[in-house]
Amino acid sequence: MKHWNLGNTTIRNPDRIREGLGVLKEHFEGKPFTEKEHYEFYKFLAKKRIIDSGDLSKSSCEIAGRKWAACFNQLGLSIAWKSKGPVIITDVGNALLNHPENEEEIFLRQFIKYHLPSPIESGSEYKGFNVNPFYVVLKLLFDLENEANIKGITKEEISLYVITCINNDNIEQSKRSIIEYRAQYSGIKGKVKKRELFNKKKLELIKLLYKKEIDNKIVVINEYEKLYRSNAVDRDKLASLLSEIVEGGKGSKTKRATDLKREISDRIKNNDKAGAISALTGIFLETKGRTLFDYADTTVRYTAKTGLLSISGDRIVIKEDKRLLAKHIIDNFAVINEGAYLEQYYSASTPQLPSDKTDFIHRNIGTLVEHYKPIISKTTVNKLSNIKIVGDINALKSIQIKLENEILKAKEEQYYLSQSSSEMIKDILGYYNKILDRSLLGGDAYRPAYLEWTTWRLFLAIDSIVNHISETRNFKIDEELHPIHHAASGKPDMVFEYDKYVIVCEVTLRVGENQWAEEEPVPRHVAKTMEQYDKPVYGIFIAPSIHVETANEYFRKLKHIKGKWQKVNIVPLTIDQIKHILTIFDEERFNTTQLRSLLDSLIELQLKTDLPNEWLKLISKKIKQW
C-alpha cells in the first residue's frame, strides 16, 4: 500500500457512524462476530434505514456488514473481529453513543492519536509507514497558509500529495510538491488544460508509486505469452496466470477484471503483446487514480468531523475560529508509544486537549472577540471584558459557546446581505452545477446537504425575508456557514416568511416515482405550515428532474386544514428551472411580489389541463418565457 485512507469508503458519510455503532451495541455487544453476525448486522442496518440495502447476495451482505464494523474498529469505537471474541464497545464508542453533543471533540481526540502502523492496522502493507494522517493534514494546512499564503488544500492536492505522505518526516516534501503544483496550476488558463495537468501529475505519481507492481504484472504477461506459444498448452495454468495479471483489490472475478482477461487473451492470440500490456496498464492506472480520488473524499469528510476544518468551495480549510486550537495541537503533537497505544486509543479522555484548560479558553475567547469585534454587539464585548475573573472550566466553556453562537448569528446575517451580489449568484449557480455533475469536494455524501444549502442561498439572494435567517433553514451549518448535515426528517428543509406570504421549500436528489415520498411527504409539511400562518403558503419542490408521479401527487392537492378542506399549492421545479429563475433575478432584480406572481401563474396552469404531465410541460414553457 502506497497511501492511507482516513476513514472508510464503505461508510462514505461519517454522519452515519453513530447510528451504525448503536446498532452494533444493541444487537451484538457481548456476542461473537462471525460471518453469521456480519450478515445479521448488515440486515439490521438496512432495517433501520441507515443504509440502502439494494439487492445483494448473502456473501455481499456479510462483506458489507464486516466493513461497517471495520470502520468502527479502525476509529477505536469497537473491538469487533471474528478472531477477537465477543464484541466490545470501547470507552470511546460509548462516549460517542451517550454524548452526541461531544461528537466533534471525540473525533478530534481519536484522530490526534490515530497512527499507522498500529496494533490495529499492521502488516507488510504498511511497510515504510510512520504517519499520523490527521497531523499531516493539519500541519500542511497550517504551514501552507503561513509560509506560502496558500489557504486550503484541494481534492486534487489531497489525492496527489497528502494521502501519499506515509511518513511524518515527509511532510516538508509534500508541502513543496503542493506549492509547486499550485504554481503550475495557477499559471494555466482554461479548465481543460488544468485538468490535463492534474491527470499528467496523477499518472506520473501512480507509475512511480506502483512501478514494482506494474513490472511484476508485465512479467506475468510475458510468462502467459510464452506458455500460450508453447506446444504443451496448460489451460488451467493460463487461466491462473490471467487471474494473477488482472487481480486487484476486488479480486479477479469482477466484470471489469473478466473483460480485461478476455482482452489480454485476445491480444496475445493476435500477437499483440504490446496492446495487452497497454490495456493492463491503462486499467491499472485508471483504477488506482479513482482510488486516490475516493480516498481524498473520505479524508475530507472524516477530518471535517473534528470541528477544526471546513469545506470552502473546492478546498478544505482550517476554520478561522479554530486556528488557535489547531496551532496548539500542531506545536504539542506527540506520537503515542506503541506499548501504550491501545490503552490510550480506546480511552475517551486522552489526549488532553487545550480546550480542557482555563488559560487556553481565556486566550481563545480573547482572540474571537478581537477578530469578530466588528460584527458582534458592543454589549457582548463589554460583558466579556471582565472574563478573566471566571475560573470555572465549565462556566468558561459555556461563555465560549454563547460567544460562538452570537458570532455565527452575526455572520449569518452578513451572509444573507451578501447573497444578492452577482459574484455570489455566480457562486450559487456553480454549486448547482457541481451537485448535478457530482464534482463536490467530499463526494456524493455531501450532495443532499449542499443542495439544501445552495437552494437556501438562492432564496436569501432574492431577499425581503421577515423571519430571522437562522429560522429559515432546518439543516445545520458550521462556523464558516457551510452545510454539515441535511435537514432532519419530520421538518421542512426551509421556510421563508415574507410580508404577504410564506414559502416552504423542499429539495431532493431522487428522480424516481417515489421522489416526493420523503420521511414526511411534502404536502404534509406545507399543510402544517399553513396551520401556523394567517397568510398564503406556497410549497416549492426542487429536484434534478420531476417524475410525473410527483406532479400527480401535487396536482390540485387538497388537505384538511383548520377544520376545512383547503388547496395545498406546491410547485415542482427542476434544478435547471430554478437556476434559470436565479439568472433572471441577476439580470432584472425582480422582487418577492413578482416571485409570488410567478408562483400563482404556475399553479393556475393546473386549470388548463387535467393531466399532471401536461402541467409539467406548461410549467417548463412558462418559465422559459418569464
Q: Are 526 and 568 in contact (CB under 8 A)?
A: yes
Question: What average pLDDT does range 290-318 have in this prediction?
Answer: 93
pLDDT for res 390: 61
Task: Count the alpha carbons within 13 Å of 184 in the hemisphere toward its beta carbon.
Answer: 15
Integer Cα distance of 370 and 376 in angstroms: 10
Q: Which of 288, 285, 246, 291 is nearest to 265 (CA)?
A: 246
pLDDT for res 513: 84
Question: What average pLDDT does range 292-303 have in this prediction?
Answer: 94
Question: What average pLDDT does range 420-439 have in this prediction?
Answer: 96
Q: What percent of the chain shows pLDDT beyond 70?
A: 96
Question: What average pLDDT does range 318-331 have in this prediction?
Answer: 94
- Model confidence at 367: pLDDT above 70: yes
Q: What percent of the chain shows pLDDT beyond 90?
A: 69
- Model confidence at 261: pLDDT above 70: yes
Question: What average pLDDT does range 71-88 have in this prediction?
Answer: 96
Instruction: Count the Cβ atoms, other than its own, within 10 Å of residue 353.
Output: 17
Integer Cα distance of 195 and 566 in angstroms: 54
- pLDDT tens for each residue of 582-619: 999 999 999 999 999 999 999 999 999 999 999 999 99
What band does 379 get if pLDDT is binned at 50, 70 and 90? low
Q: Which residue has the cell 432532519?
A: 488
Diameter of the chain by CA atoms?
A: 93
pLDDT for res 378: 62
Q: Are 197 and 184 in contact (CB under 8 A)?
A: yes
What band does 400 get if pLDDT is binned at 50, 70 and 90? confident
Q: Are 267 and 275 in contact (CB under 8 A)?
A: yes
What rounded mean pLDDT belongs to the chain?
91
Domain boundaries, the chain: 14-132+335-345, 150-167+178-321, 357-416, 419-625
- pLDDT tens for each residue of 550-586: 999 999 888 878 778 888 999 999 999 999 999 999 9
Q: Which of 42, 62, 60 is nearest to 52 (CA)?
A: 42
What band does 398 get if pLDDT is binned at 50, 70 and 90? confident
- Model confidence at 525: pLDDT above 80: yes
- Model confidence at 380: pLDDT above 80: no
Question: What average pLDDT does range 471-488 have in this prediction?
Answer: 89
- pLDDT tens for each residue of 220-250: 999 999 998 887 778 889 889 999 988 876 6
Residue 302 identity: Y
pLDDT for res 371: 84
Helix (H, G, I), strand (E, B) or coil at 421: coil
Question: What average pLDDT does range 421-426 have in this prediction?
Answer: 96
DSSP state letters, 144-172: HHHHH---SEEHHHIIIIITT--BGGGHH
Question: Considering only 2-6, 75-79, 84-88, which range has the smallest mean pLDDT?
Answer: 2-6
Question: What average pLDDT does range 468-481 have in this prediction?
Answer: 91
- pLDDT tens for each residue of 146-164: 999 999 999 999 999 999 9
What band does 12 get if pLDDT is binned at 50, 70 and 90? confident
- Asked, as a colleague might, if the bond just before 351 is cis with ω within 30 of 0, I would say yes
∠ CA 321-325-327, nearest 5°, is: 110
Fold (CATH) for 419-625: Restriction Endonuclease (3.40.91)
